[in-house]
Amino acid sequence: MKKIVLAISILAFVIIYFLPKEQSKFDKLSAENNSNKVVSKHMYLNENMSNETSIEDNVFVTPEEYLFEAKEIRRCNTIPKTQDELDDWLSKANELGEPYEYIEDVLSRFEHCTHFNFISDDFVELLVKAIKLGSDNAVIELWAISDKEYFQSKGLLELSREETIEHRIKFNKLKFQLSESIALTGGEQSILRLAKEYQNYDPDSGEPSYLKALAYANFGLKIVKDNDIYLKLDFIQRRISQDMKFQDIEQAQVLTENFLSKFGGNGN
């Protein structure tokens, strides 16, 4: 009997002494495995987010969504990105005596922009996507972008003089090409923009083209419904045509007919 009691006591001692240690080892191993799973899951989510937020993927559906994102990125690109940068900026702004309204605007935009997690810094590409989806408003935003903003958006920060000229020409051609694609579907703001811009520069020749400006003005006068745009096009048409040769006016009319044909071919 004593032997049985002694055996039970020894067994109880073993269970009490060794089981917690083994359980502790098991818990530790389990915790490590769970931790690894969390890290792996986090990495997986980051990879997915990276893929999902790539501009190449269709993150947005409508042109309005692409345009909104592009405008917000552009708006936020001109202000400090971190609190330290903001503090440095405020110090310099106070030293320079910047207007109170300007400082308040920057502070407001900084607060606004901290709530956004943008999919890209390349707001130009987002505008291009909006335009390709048919946004006339995105064309206007594209024309408002300076060469400096374009270079920053594309990451073209260290260019030679020749490269700078090359990319500036490329950007100008892009603006005209995209504007024409929207104009021929009836984009009224794009039509007005082309009638204005061709008076200053034609990317095909590097010179003004009053013939193309007149052609787009004539085209717009045939199809636009917005009264304000119509009046502006009418003014452009009258001002340009009075200084043009009859032969050039005829050529412009032929080009206008070509535009109208393409406009009709687009289902209008």
In the listed set 142, 169, 199, which residue is the last one of a domain according to the structure? 142
Q: How far apart are CA 154 and CA 125, in angstroms?
A: 9
Q: Is residue 15 part of a domain?
A: no
In this predicted structure, what is the pLDDT of residue 63?
A: 96
Q: Is residue 4 part of a domain?
A: no
pLDDT band at 58 (very low <50, low <70, confident <90, very high): low
Q: From 104, 108, 113, select the one nearest 82 (Cα to Cα).
A: 113
pTM over 0.85, yes/no: no
Q: Is residue 80 part of a domain?
A: yes
Q: Is residue 47 part of a domain?
A: no
Greatest alpha-carbon span in the chain: 130
**Tally of domains within the chain:** 2
Confirm if 113 and 79 have CB atoms less than 8 A apart.
yes
Q: Is residue 163 part of a domain?
A: no
In the listed set 142, 171, 196, which residue is the last one of a domain according to the structure? 142
Shared-domain flag, residues 138 and 183 = no
The range of the structural domain enclosing residue 123 comes to 62-142
Tens of pLDDT, residues 124-149: 999 999 999 999 999 999 999 999 99
Shared-domain flag, residues 121 and 198 = no
Q: Is residue 94 part of a domain?
A: yes
Shared-domain flag, residues 135 and 199 = no
Torsion over CA of 34, 40, 45 and 47, rounded to 10 degrees?
A: 180
Shared-domain flag, residues 124 and 191 = no
In this predicted structure, what is the pLDDT of residue 60?
A: 82
